[in-house]
Amino acid sequence: MLEIWGRRNSSNVASVMWAVGELDLDHVRHDVGGSFGQTDSGDYLKMNPNGLVPTIRDGDLVLWESNVIVRYLCARYGGEELYPECLERRALADQWMDWSKSTLIPAFFPIFWQQVRVEQDKRDLTLIRRAEAATARVLRILEAYLADRAFIAGEALSMGDMPFGSMLYRYYTMPLDRPSLPQVERYYDGLCQRPAFQRHVMIPFGTSLEEWNRLEREPLD
């Protein structure tokens, strides 16, 4: 059976769990990382020398890096529906999956860190405003791209959409200054209608340091 290591309210774990949900895979998930600890244990480091989450084991295969895990699961268990057979569609999915990690997440991360993991009286409001502006600039690239397509790789959900889910959920849930982005909002609203997205992505992630710590210690399944 597929085994997954990682706390559910980690954004990287959420993208993997969303794929697992869309594929309806039998699995066992272990609470690891954050307040659960264990990522620095010898046994865990043998699987993932980075000491990060998520990590999966599928048979004899152990994988880490969330995008790689999503690609693998969709390729092995999803077929054309989530892992496009068409090389052009697959390349688009790959391109935007990498873009989400290299460009979108770095722009947004300071907002998340300051609002969730820094106590309110210690937050750097200037940094937050700069990150809001940077995130808006980056999302306008996605806005233009989505003007003539329903999903990242075309008219159907694919692996290309998985990395965007948890980030957009946080972006549209957290209190921050957001520009009007009709195509991104339409895309996000469509994701929110999917049962697997609701179960695995639309979950509490903490809007304060205290809530983040508490949620990590409470079972979310």
The 3 state secondary structure assigned to 121-155 is: HHCCHHHHHHHHHHHHHHHHHHHHHHHHCCECCEC
CA 44/CA 155 separation, integer angstroms: 39
For the stretch 134-156, pLDDT in tens is 999 999 999 999 999 999 999 99
C-beta of residue 131 within 8 angstroms of C-beta of residue 107: yes
Nearest to 153 by CA among 77, 87, 108: 87
% of the chain with per-residue pLDDT over 70: 93
Instruction: Band the pLDDT of 210: cuts 50, 70, 90.
Output: low
- Residue type, position 27, single letter: H
Across residues 24-28, what is the average pLDDT?
Answer: 97
CATH class of 2-81: alpha beta
| Sequence ranges of the domains in the chain | 2-81, 87-200
Q: Can you tell me the distance from the alpha carbon of 45 to that of 86, in angstroms, rounded to the nearest whole number?
A: 37
pLDDT, residue 17, reads: 97
Task: Give me the CATH code for the 87-200 domain, please.
Answer: 1.20.1050.10
Split at pLDDT 50, 70, 90, the class of 5 is very high
Q: Give the pLDDT mean for 120-145.
A: 97
The pLDDT of residue 52 is 96
Q: What is the mean pLDDT of the chain?
A: 92
155 class by beta-carbon count within 10 Å (0-12 exposed, 13-18 middle, 19+ buried) = exposed
pLDDT at 212 (0 to 100): 52
pLDDT (mean) for 64-87: 95
pLDDT at position 217, please? Answer: 52
| Average pLDDT for 28-47 | 93
Q: Per-residue pLDDT averaged across 157-167, rounded?
A: 96
CA-CA distance, 124 to 156, in Å (whole number)? 40
pLDDT at 42: 97
Amino acid 213: pLDDT: 55
Q: What pLDDT shows up at residue 34?
A: 84
pLDDT of 216 above 70: no
64 pairs with which residues across the strands?
55
- pLDDT for 116 equals 87
